[in-house]
Amino acid sequence: MHKETKQYYACKIIPKNRIVEANLDQRFEAEIRIDQQLHHPGIVQIVDLMKDNSNYYVVMEFCPNGDFFQFIIDNGTIPENIAAFSMKQTLEALQYVHRLGIAHRDLKPENLLLDAQNNIKISDFGLSRYVGQNGLVDTPCGSPCYASPECLSGMPYGGCASDIWSCGVILYAALTGQLPWTKRNQQQLFDQIRAGDYKVPENISDLAKDFLVGLMTVDPAKRFTIEQALNHEWLKIAPAGLSQQKAANPPKLVSLKAVDRFFDYDVDSPDCDVLDSPTTTRGQSFYTVVRELEPQTNKLPKIKTRQLAIPPRKAASRILQSRPVHHHPKIISLQQVRK
């Protein structure tokens, strides 16, 4: 808790030896630099960076209502208007990210956090990548159940289009309380995803079905673009929220020079001056930094997040009445995925 403002923050504590031993220092730096670039009310903001001899400390906005995964588990199937509200906010934040030429590449309910008003905030850019002009990436990554067919193809693929597919799987989970995949064996699961072999839920509206299929179309060229998704009729049932208003009391953001200091760069060197120069296009300088830091490893391991001076957890949204999750014996449940 900030002593003067009495505002709560979350702090991610990363042991330095863990990063060095796994040769993940470049990936960690790339993640922080991407986070520093993203200033949007639908994205968890970094507000401070600290370190000592043992750990890095990344102080972030505190989202007291947990993640969207637990929100689904707690509430079972989510009413369409609430699901549309959450999906609209996710897509608006994602549109901002994509316009900067960045693909998230690990979208899943666990990486969608909920603030005190249950507004969605995208988090965890550990697998994100600046995709450049052609929009292609060549490293399959992310969580298998949310990965797109092209991500599993072994060929270069469009990172931003792949994010749209992941949004479709998230929406499927929100509307049904289940994932769309029935296979447990990894190879069979991958084959099912590549084939787009899923059953469209019968108990949702026709508009919801059309929207879901548009997100989860196997051919990325025929899949909804993010603009098409945001203009879809189904999203109009979403109640007004953060997507239609400016964030109240936006956090003070970390500067690029603060990030340079965090990673022990000489902030008075010509290189650092160029990166922070107002005459330099921030997107271009950011592209140069991230391309130089492009990691060879596939995935940053899960890093435990600790909350500092956290008040008692607030209850999940009262918009929804808590209901048990009903499981189909042949469908992978969300709890099984987490296990």
Catalytic residue among 106, 115, 124, 260: 106
d(CA 266, CA 145): 42
- Inter-axis angle of helices 159-176 and 80-99, nearest 10: 170
DSSP collapsed to 3 states, the chain: CCCCCCCCEEEEEEEHHHHHHCCCHHHHHHHHHHHHHCCCCCECCEEEEEECCCEEEEEEECCCCCEHHHHHHHHCCCCHHHHHHHHHHHHHHHHHHHHCCEECCCCCHHHEEECCCCCEEECCCCCCEECCCCCEECCCCCCHHHCCCHHHCCCCEEHHHHHHHHHHHHHHHHHHCECCCCCCCHHHHHHHHHHCCCCCCCCCCHHHHHHHHHHCCCCCCCCCCHHHHHCCHHHHHCCCCHHHCCCCCCCCCCCHHHHHHHCCCCCCCHHHHHHCCCCCCHHHHHHHHHHHCCCCCCCCCCCCEEECCCCCCCCCCCCCCCCCCCCCCCCCEHHHHHC
Q: Say how far apart CA 128 and CA 7 lie, in whole Å.
A: 29
106 is catalytic: yes
Maximal CA-CA distance, the chain:
61
Are 31 and 128 within 8 A, CB to CB? yes
Cα 40 to chain centroid distance, Å, stands at 13
Q: Which residues are catalytic?
A: 106
